[in-house]
Amino acid sequence: MKIFHIALQSEWDDAKQTGSYTTSTRGRTLAEEGFIHASRADQVQGVRDAFYADVVEPLVLLVIDTERLTSPVVEESPAEGIDETFPHVYGPINADAVIEVQPL
């Protein structure tokens, strides 16, 4: 299965050097949040519009193969009262699980 994560180009470049990606979402680390926010394909544009619309730094879309991912993925609601679920990655994203990087 494929899941998606919007990343700053600079943070993805760092992850390629270290072998793992640990940014949860804009301005929050995996250590701070406890998981990395991800999306299904139909959710990417809504996430971009809601959280990244004002970002001027280059963005990329990480296409993640969950079969290659070494951290568990859990589908869950981002907040109480929201019915829609999102994939959350409970640990770092190993760089070799990212099978495609698309500029945004």
Give the span between the Cα atoms of 88 and 67, in whole angstroms.
Answer: 15
pTM beyond cutoff 0.85? yes
- In which element (H, E) is residue 24 found? strand 23-25
Under the banding of pLDDT at 50, 70 and 90, the label for residue 79 is confident
pLDDT over threshold 90, residue 92: yes
* Residue range 27-47: mean pLDDT, rounded: 96
pLDDT of residue 58: 97
Domains of the chain: 2-103 (3.20.170.20)
Under the banding of pLDDT at 50, 70 and 90, the label for residue 32 is very high
30 beta partners: none
* Residue range 23-30: mean pLDDT, rounded: 94
pLDDT of residue 81: 86
